[in-house]
Structure 1
Amino acid sequence: MAAPKVLVSDKLSETAVQIFRDRGIDVDFMPELGKDKEKLLSIIDQYDGLAIRSATKATEKLIEAAAKLKVIGRAGIGVDNVDIPAASRKGIIVMNTPFGNSITTAEHAIALIFAVARELPAADTSTRAGKWEKSKFMGVEITGKTLGVIGCGNIGAVVASRAIGLKMNVVAFDPFLSEERAVKLGVEKVDLDTLLARADFITLHTPMTDKTRGIINAAAFAKMKTGVRIVNCARGGLIVEADLVEALKSGKVAGAGIDVFETEPATENPLFDMPNVVCTPHLGASTSEAQENVAVQVAEQMSDYLLKGAVSNAINMPSITAEEAPVLKPFVKLAEMLGAFVGQATESAIQEVEILFDGSVSEMNTRALISATLAGLIRPQVADVNMVSAPIMVKERGIQVSEVKRDKSGVFDGYIKLTVKTANQTRSVAGTCFVDGKPRFIQIKDINLDAEIGRHMIYLTNKDTPGTIGMLGTVFGKNGVNIANFQLGRKDQGGDAIALLYVDGPVPEAVLDEVRSHDQITSAKALQFDI
């Protein structure tokens, strides 16, 4: 099997490139290619992985041309330069490195807080010009002041910790910050309006989303204290720059430290001419340590995925650690087969999906198992689908998905049960993996059985009447269909029954029609599984 092939189209450290090579990955290091859109577009179909920084733009057009691409790795936090919906639809995992530059960015935010509080850049320029304007640069202390942290994730938490060490009072707004986490960090969790009203300094550390775009605007400034100071080392566009200019002119805002801008590179900006505004050229992650860290991390993450199937720090896919990948792998395969069974056996539109995880399986990474189940379920209708794209496609089709977890309830240590509802029926199938790691069906339509799964199978529903087994043997035998395994199940004597046959090859439709012609058979379907 050929080694995975990765393209590095931006400037990553040689250490990171060597990691790919040391892991046995074929890597092309072309650090200037990201700036050449047409050249990149012409060769991207050769690669399984794409490692980038900010210069390469992974647009929808590029992603559509990437026939083999499985993963895009962004060395850094921001993925604004990657069309994530397009990548997800194509089944491409998008990874970033959210921890590699957390310390560096947090330290830059703290540095800007000091610089704005004491007007350091302006004082430096004045002093170098031969002036001694000691009274002009009257700053403020930060000790005892209230710092408002908008976004208390990795970087925001580090900023809060540093600020607490500087004897500041910290209030934080973050919809995903739990009370327990806030207590552990030593911050007070508040809503946004409360933060705006109480903060002497405000620092932003939230990602750019539709909800956060322009979160600091004229209406927000109106709620702030007069004389507030603001720092943004997160994303340009979180602050409406025109509104900040007006707030600075009016004195509502006493100073600002801006590392990121609405348009970058920012060669012209009204903020450049405002007094007590400290501007830096997106330096948040610009330390030698951070650049090395994120490059090494992205190389390790991409290698782990391409070689082991481990997924970490993915934007559009549940994480699967290298440690859990071997244990999870057979159950991922089982989940896909359960989905494939129902997807092939169901002819009407699916409206609802319920996935039950019982016993030991309920303690596994069920998000990954759900993605695998959905991929198997819709693959009969949408061939080009995988664990990344399946949840999006299911959502686009309006299918409701629910998850149930419960403690061990039967003879099996753990199993998965998939139930789907259509307008006119409910269909269910359950399965587990034995110690050999091979998936097996253990229940269909609430009828228990123990069926080995083969590449070619026949699923029958029938009435429990004498002679059915003999009839099936006769029909398949005279037509040259060899049965490798035959499993039967029924609810009650003389009632509904099922049969699952593992056969050695594809069964012609004419043979199935002959089976269906017998009165005791209610349905017969040929199924195929990717073994």
Structure 2
Amino acid sequence: MSRKTIVVCDHIHQSGLDILANDSEIELINAADEPKDKLVSEIIPLADVAITRSSTDVDDAFLAAAKKITAVVRAGVGVDNVDIPGSSKQGIVIMNVPTANTIAAVELTMAHLLSCVRKFPYAHNNLKLDRVWRRQDWYGTELKDKKLGVIGFGNIGSRVGKRAKAFEMDVLAFDPYIDPSKATDLDVAYTKNFEDILACDIITIHTPKNQETIGMIGSEEIAKMKDGVILINCARGGLYDEDALLEGLKSGKIAMAGIDVFNKEPATDHPLLDLDNVTVTPHLGANTKESQRNIAIQAAENAIAAVKGISYPNALNLPIKENELPDFVRPYLELIQKMGHLSAQVTKSAVKSIKVTAEGPVTEYIESMGTFATVGVLTESVGDTVNYVNVEFVAEDRGIEILKETKPNTSGFTNKVALKLTTVESTITIAGTVFDDTVQRIIEIDDYTLDVEPKGTMIFFRNTDTPGVIGDVGHILASNELNISDFRLGRDNKKQALAIVRVDGQISKKVLDELSSLEACISVSYATL
């Protein structure tokens, strides 16, 4: 058997390099110190698998040179510098290492939490740099008996909650996508009401960054918080509206903030750095010796498994080669994943089961349909930790049942796919098809027949079928400076209607509240694809 070549494009911990070097079936090329033009033009063409970090872009030039590469391992969590669709078309699996820095992120969160309540960095600088001994300037508060609100109770948030309990804090978790028992089993209170979190003494956020979570703490939310609240963000930049955060800190409404991540990095000129009630670090969430070692080891092991064809741990895509997948199947896989993502955004609660049904020739690919649909559903709640390889394990861990069914083609469409999502609070069924080979359409939502293009920001407005409702909806959207780009309406035999309104712009809580207040409104939600 000929040796396979693994190229390490960027610096990783020596432990990872040792694993690669000690495998007799692997030819290791450590190109971390090579100029990037040489790396791409001369070394990447030799690689069967590559390991990268943030310094090497997997872009058009990289992919054009990657004649032999079957997989790329991103040694870390973020894949912003990786062209995943382009890699998929070329049959290259993209993998990351999403959990190696979990403890590092948890402990950094605790460090910021402690620094904020005891003002540690400022007391330290006052004594060490200014040589001033003034104990009276640095009265802090204690964590004991304070209420900590944890937004997002996944791998990191749950561990923060567990450690906060050790400090005798009163911990409250908010995460609509988990089973409440995940919190209560840790003796942590659980709430479905976000307003409860806003009433906490300290708030820390640990969610993926998506359309739902960007700016989820803004001026309106801060106004509802306790005077003297403390806010922590060691997750993703932009989850707090930074302008609102700045104003809250200046006014004293927010007593302290501990920030490790910024919307735009590096943030060396950020106005938050000018304030005396902020503790800041330069995105150090993964910067421990242990996490860097863990990242390198996992990246090396994943690369070896991939190059030997054993498995593709933490794969973020599915290798789709033009000659291995019929042209008509691809848009259905994309459509069913969009339908899954859409249904999860509309329901916003813990998932119990996912059922995928197919009619027509596409039924031959029902297994793949189930995988893509489940990735779409779970991406909303767990972000980039779910992928096409581990999705069934993630679903099983959360107690989610995945069902797949093929039916005789009686719909009148060449192919039809449907997804039924059952959560602890509700059920939604969405069906779709593809016209002219590539035109994706949602054709049914529950009992309503529609024709909706699954794209953009969509408001789902269910109402009693009475005169004037469309005008009222249009007036509210116009008054909030939201332009309607598409309006689709379905009616049932129970004198109810469902409007799907696509708008240009972001949906605020104010818009949803105003729509909900209409007398004819039964329910309102939104999704972004």
Deviation at 1:351, TM superposition (A): 6.4
Q: Counterparts of 2:123 and 2:215 in 1: how far apart (Å)?
A: 31
After superposition, residues 101-500 of structure 1 pair within 5 angstroms as: 101-128=101-128, 129-191=130-192, 193-317=194-318, 353-354=362-363, 404-405=403-404
Alpha-carbon distance in structure 1 between the residues aligned to 2:28 and 2:407: 41
Give the counterpart letter for 1:91 in structure 2.
Answer: G
Asked if 1:38 corresponds to 2:18, the answer is: no
Q: 1:170 to 1:22 in 2, by over 3 A?
A: same
Residue 82 (structure 1) aligned with residue 82 (structure 2)? yes
Task: State the shift of 1:155 in Å.
Answer: 1.4
Deviation at 1:113, TM superposition (A): 0.2
User: 1:5·1:48 contact (CA, 8 Å) conserved in 2?
Assistant: yes
Q: Whole-Å Cα distance in 1 between the matches of residues 364 and 190 of structure 2?
A: 35
Letter in 2 for 1:117: V
| SS, match of residue 362 in structure 2 | strand
Determine if contact 2:370/2:404 at 8 Å carries over to the other structure: no
Q: Is the 8 A contact 1:122 1:276 kept in 2?
A: no
Offset of residue 125 of structure 1: 1.3
Aligned pair in 2 of structure 1 residues 286, 368: CA closer, same or farther (>3 Å)?
farther
Q: What secondary structure, in the 3-state scheme, does the structure 2 residue paired with 1:189 have?
A: strand
Give me the whole-angstrom Cα distance separating, in 2, the residues matched to 1:127 and 1:84.
50
Describe the shift of the 1:190–1:4 C-alpha distance in structure 2 as closer, same or farther (beyond 3 A). farther
8 Å contact 1:118–1:138 — kept in the other structure?
A: yes
* Structure of higher RCO (CA pairs closer than 8 Å, 6+ residues apart): 2
Deviation at 1:108, TM superposition (A): 0.9
Q: How far apart in 2 are the matches of 1:418 and 1:47?
A: 45
Q: Deviations over 1:18-57 (max 9, x none)?
A: 3223332222112234xx5433432434322221222223
Contact 1:355 1:419 in 2 (8 A): no
Give the SS at the match of 2:257. Answer: strand
Distance in 2 of aligned mates of 1:352 and 1:136: 74
Secondary structure at the residue paired with 1:135? Answer: helix
Give the structure 2 partner of residue 27 of structure 1: 28
Q: Is the CA contact 2:97–2:299 (under 8 Å) kept in the aligned structure 1? A: yes
2: CA distance, partners of 1:83 / 1:218: 35
> C-alpha separation between the residues in 2 aligned to 1:73 and 1:121?
37
Contact 1:352 1:422 in 2 (8 A): no
The TM-score with structure 2 as length reference comes to 0.60
Say whether the 8 Å CA contact 1:353–1:419 is kept in structure 2. no
In the alignment, structure 2 segments of 5+ residues that lack a partner are 330-358, 373-386, 392-401, 417-529
- Report the Cα distance in structure 2 between the residues aligned to 1:309 and 1:211, rounded to whole angstroms: 37
Asked whether the equivalents of residues 158 and 183 of structure 2 are also in contact (C-alpha less than 8 Å), the reply is no
% same residue? 37
Matches of 2:368 and 2:192, distance apart in 1:
30
Question: Between Structure 1 and Structure 2, how many residues are aligned?
Answer: 356
| Shift of residue 210, structure 1, vs aligned partner | 3.0
Structure-2 change in CA distance of 1:38 and 1:215 (3 Å): farther
1:72 pairs with 2:89: no
Q: Which amino acid aligns with 2:267?
A: A
- 1:254 Cα offset (Å): 0.7
Residue 9 of structure 1 aligns to which amino acid in structure 2? C
Instruction: Write out per-residue CA displacement over residues 330-380 of structure 1, whole angstroms, 9 at most, x where no aligned residue.
Output: xxxxxx99x87x98xxxxxx96733699xxxxxxxx569967xxxxxxxxx
State the Cα deviation string for residues 75-115 of structure 1 (Å, max 9, x = none): 22222332333333433222222221111110111011000
* TM superposition shift of 1:60: 4.8
**Cα distance in 2 for residues equivalent to 1:405 and 1:182:** 30
- Using the TM superposition, give the Cα deviation of residue 418 of structure 1 relative to its aligned residue in structure 2, in angstroms: 9.8
Give the partner amino acid of 1:42: S
Distance 1:420 1:235 in 2: 46
The one-letter code of the counterpart of 1:4 is K
Tell me the SS of whatever aligns to 2:135: coil
1:254 and 1:306, CA in 2 relative to 1: closer, same or farther beyond 3 A? Answer: same
* Residue 189 of structure 1: how far off its partner (Å): 2.8
Question: What is the identity, as a one-letter code, of the residue corresponding to 1:282?
Answer: H
Unmatched tracts of structure 1, length 5 or more: 319-335, 344-349, 358-365, 372-386, 392-402, 407-416, 428-531
Distance 1:367 1:356, change over 3 A: closer
- C-alpha separation in 2, matches of 1:421 and 1:74: 45
Shift of 1:300: 0.6
> Match for residue 12 of structure 1?
12
Deviations 1:286-313 (A, max 9, x none): 1111111111011111211221331222
CA distance in 2 between counterparts of 1:419 and 1:66 reads 43
Q: Which residue of 1 aligns with 2:91?
A: 91
Distance 1:190 1:29 in 2: 49
Taking structure 1 as the reference length, what is the TM-score of the superposition? 0.60
Question: C-alpha separation between the residues in 1 aligned to 2:186 and 2:70?
Answer: 37
Indicate how the Cα distance of structure 1 residues 78 and 420 shifts in structure 2: closer, same or farther if over 3 A, else same: farther
Q: Which residue of 2 aligns with 1:51?
A: 51
